[in-house]
Amino acid sequence: MLVPSPWRADFPAIATLQRQDQTYLDNAATTQKPQALLDAISHYYANGAANVHRAQHLPGAHATQAFEDSRSKVAQWLNAGDSGQIVFTHGATSALNLLAYGLEHLFNAGDEIAISALEHHANLLPWQQLAKRRALTLVVLPLGDDGVIDLHAAAELIGPRTRLLAVSQLSNVLGAWQPLEVLLAMARTHGALTVVDGAQGIVHGRHDVQALGCDFYVFSSHKLYGPDGVGVLFSRNEALHHLRHWQFGGEMVQQADYHSASFRPAPLGFEAGTPPIASVIGLGASLDYLSSLDQHAVVAHEAALHDYLLRGLKARNGVHVLGSPQVALVSFVVEGVHNADLAHLLTEQGIAVRAGHHCAMPLLKAMNLSGAIRVSLALYNDSDDLERFFEALDQALDMLR
C-alpha cells in the first residue's frame, strides 16, 4: 500500500464498515470514533451517571470532575490558557446561534456584519437572521478563483461600519485555508468583533486561539472524532462581557425569584439545562487519544492522502475540481454527468461520499453548480480506500458516458 494509516485499527467502526463493503470517505460530515471514546462513554454509564454542578453526592462529584476535566482538555487543545473561557454547547450550529443572539444587543440599524461567500449555512443563517431582526447589512466577502477570500475586496468591504466578522477557517466545500491572520487584523483595526468557524479547521492540524487572536472560536466535537451533540465555543476574556445570556434554565441561574433572576458568568451561565455530560466526557477521551498521536505524522499522512486523491481526480478526463483544495477534502464535478447520477452509482458500490450542496447553497449557486461530489478524508483513511473510490468512479463514469 502506498499510504497506509497506522491509526486505522484504533477506530473499530472502520473494520465493521469494511465488512459491509463500505468505504467511508464522508469525514467532513462526521468522523468515526476511536476505541478510547467508546471506552470512556461506556465507563461513565457503567460506573454511575450523575448530573453535573448540582449534587453534593459522590456520583455527582465524579461526573462533575470528569466533565470539567474535558473543559480543561479542550482549553489545552486550543492553547486557550487563561485567555478565555470554554463553553459547551449542543453543536457548532448552536454555538453560532448563541453568538448571534448573545451579541444582538450590540447592533444598531445600519451596522454591518461581514461573512464570506463560502460560509456553511451554520455560519451564514444566524447572522443573516440577526441582520433581518436588527436591520443590519450582511456584507459577503467574495472569493478568488482559488477558493480563498479575496483580500483586496475584503480590505474595501471591512470598514468602520463593520461590527462583526464571522468567517470559516477551512472551507467544507473548497478545502482551502482562509487568510484569517489578515482578515482578523482588518476587523480589529475597525474595532469589529471576530468569530472563527473552526468546524473543519480544528480537525486538521493544531490551532492556537491566542496566536489567532479571534474573539470567538467555534467547533463541533463529532467532526473531531468525538461524540455528537457537543459544540465548543471559546470566548476571549475581553469579548466575553459582550455576551448576554441566551437560553435560560437549569444551573445557569444564580438567584431566581418569580419575577426576576440573576445568572452565572461564563462558562456555566451559557450552559442552560443539563449538558450532554457523557458526550463531553467522551470528547475529553478523544482529545486524550489525539494528543497521544505524533501530530507531525498525522499532518504528513493527511497531506500524502490528499495529494493522492487530488492527483487521481485530476488524471481523469472531464473531472473538474472545485477551487484549489489544500487539505482534507476535494469537491468535484464531471463534465456531462449529473452529480446525483454519479452519487447514485458510487453508493451502489459502497463508496460513502457526499453529493449535493454541502450546506453551502449560495456558494454552489454562485459557482453555477447544482451540486458536487465531495470526498473527505480522516486520519484512518488509507490509499486503499482511495483506490476503491477510483475504481468505483471509473466504473460509474463508464456507465454514465
Partner 1 sequence: MSLPVDAAAALEAFQAVGSWEQRARMLMQWGERLPVLADDEKVDANLVQGCESLVWLVGRLHDGHWQFAASSEARLIRGLVALLLARVNGLSAAQLQAVDLPEWFNQLGLSRQLSPSRSNGLNAVLQRMQDLCGRGLAPDGVGSATN
Active-site positions read 359
Q: Which of 18, 242, 349, 384 binds partner 1 (CB under 8 A)?
A: 349
CA-to-CA distance for 39 and 374, rounded, in angstroms? 31
Nearest-approach distance from CB 127 to partner 1, in angstroms: 25
Least spacing, CB of residue 355 vs partner 1, in Å: 6
Residue among 390, 399, 322, 325 at smallest CA distance from 357: 322
What's the 3-state SS for 310-368? HHHHHCCCCEEECCCCCCCEEEEEECCECHHHHHHHHHHCCEECEEECCCCHHHHHHCC
Separation of alpha carbons 154 and 150, rounded Å: 6
Whether omega before 6 lies within 30 degrees of 0, making that bond cis, reads: no
Q: Does 116 bind partner 1 (CB under 8 A)?
A: no
Q: Please name the amino acid found at residue 394.
A: D
Contact status: 400 vs partner 1 (CB under 8 A): yes
Q: Is the Cβ of residue 311 or residue 401 nearer to partner 1 in the bound state?
A: 401
Which one of 104, 341, 384, 387 is in contact with partner 1 (CB under 8 A)? 341
* HSE (side-chain half, CA atoms, 13 Å) at 361: 4
How many residues in the chain? 401
355 lines the binding site for partner 1 (CB under 8 A): yes
Judged by DSSP in three states, 113 sits in: strand
- With CB under 8 A as the contact rule, the residue among 133, 344, 365, 401 that binds partner 1 is 344
149 phi, psi to nearest 5 deg: -55, 130
* Total residues binding partner 1 (CB under 8 A): 16
Query: Positive or negative, the Cα torsion across 118, 153, 202, 232?
Result: negative
CB nearer partner 1, residue 106 or residue 369 = 369
Nearer to partner 1, 213 or 356 (CB): 356
Tell me if 401 contacts partner 1 by CB under 8 A. Answer: no
**DSSP state letter for 162:** E
User: What is the Cα–Cα distance from 114 to 190, expressed in whole angstroms?
Assistant: 12
Residue 121 binds partner 1 (CB under 8 A): no
Q: Distance (Å, rounded) from C-alpha 123 to C-alpha 100?
A: 10
Cell numbers placing 135: 436591520
CB of 93 to partner 1, least distance (A): 19
With contacts defined by CB under 8 A, name the span among 180-188, 258-266, 282-290, 348-356 that binds partner 1.
348-356
| Shortest distance (Å) from residue 322 CB to partner 1 | 17
Looking at residue 124, its amino acid is L
Question: Which helix (H) or strand (E) segment is 16 a member of?
Answer: helix 12-19
Q: Using CB under 8 A, pick the residue from 48, 370, 391, 394 that binds partner 1.
A: 370
Binding of partner 1 by 365 (CB under 8 A): no
Inter-residue contact 309 to 377 (CB < 8 Å): yes
343 binds partner 1 (CB under 8 A): yes
Position 369 contacts partner 1 (CB under 8 A): no
Smallest gap from Cβ 160 to partner 1, in A, equals 41
Query: In the stretch 29-68, what mask flags binding to partner 1 with x, by CB under 8 A?
Result: ----------------------------------------
The one segment of 69-77, 198-206, 208-216, 337-345 that binds partner 1 by CB under 8 A: 337-345
The cell for 113 is 456584519
Residues in touch with partner 1 (CB under 8 A): 338-341, 343-345, 348-349, 355-356, 370-371, 395, 399-400
